[in-house]
Structure 1
């Protein structure tokens, strides 16, 4: 696995480090974020979308990323697309 570091939350403090990487081999975004509150997790688990099972499978997670990291996520999306072309 080749991880490309994109960025970390610019407001990171001690023990807080939402981070964005790109897995070049899998062509995936890798995100580290805050765990949701029990209430937010329950809302996400109850959300119904056609063609999508209700609930959050054990092998998946809901995370929170601050909006100030949107530029990093865009950069990661561009990096994944470049990896897909090359």
Structure 2
């Protein structure tokens, strides 16, 4: 699987996040998200148990907008 940079939060610094990447998977559309690790105890309690091989990251709505635009572009090409 390869990852292609789509964009990052305009409010992040030069090396900051959140950042969104598209994968080249052929079996399903998927994205990789670099974001802020959630450490807030109340939020993690609300989410519930998280498997050891997973984590929760926080991203702004603008990153979701990037994913939607990318998906629409992919569908327009089909």
* TM-score, length basis structure 2: 0.72
Q: Give the 3-state SS of the residue equivalent to 1:73 in structure 2.
A: helix
Aligned length: 74
Highest relative contact order (Cα 8 Å, sep 6+), 1 or 2?
A: 1
2:55 corresponds to which of 48, 55, 61? 61
Is the 1:36–1:64 Cα contact (8 Å) retained in structure 2? yes
Alignment of 1:3-82 (within 5 A): 3-13=3-13, 16-25=16-25, 27-39=29-41, 40-45=43-48, 55-78=49-72, 82=75
* Inter-CA distance 72–21: structure 2 relative to 1 (3 Å threshold): same
Structure 1, gaps ≥5 residues long: 46-54
Instruction: Give the root-mean-square deviation of aligned CA atoms.
Output: 2.4
**Higher fraction of strand:** 2
Once residues 6 and 14 of structure 2 are traced to their aligned partners in structure 1, the CA distance between those partners, rounded to angstroms, is 20
Quote how far apart the aligned CAs of 1:62 are: 0.7
Structure 2, gaps ≥5 residues long: none
* Inter-CA distance 25–70: structure 2 relative to 1 (3 Å threshold): closer
* TM-score, length basis structure 1: 0.67
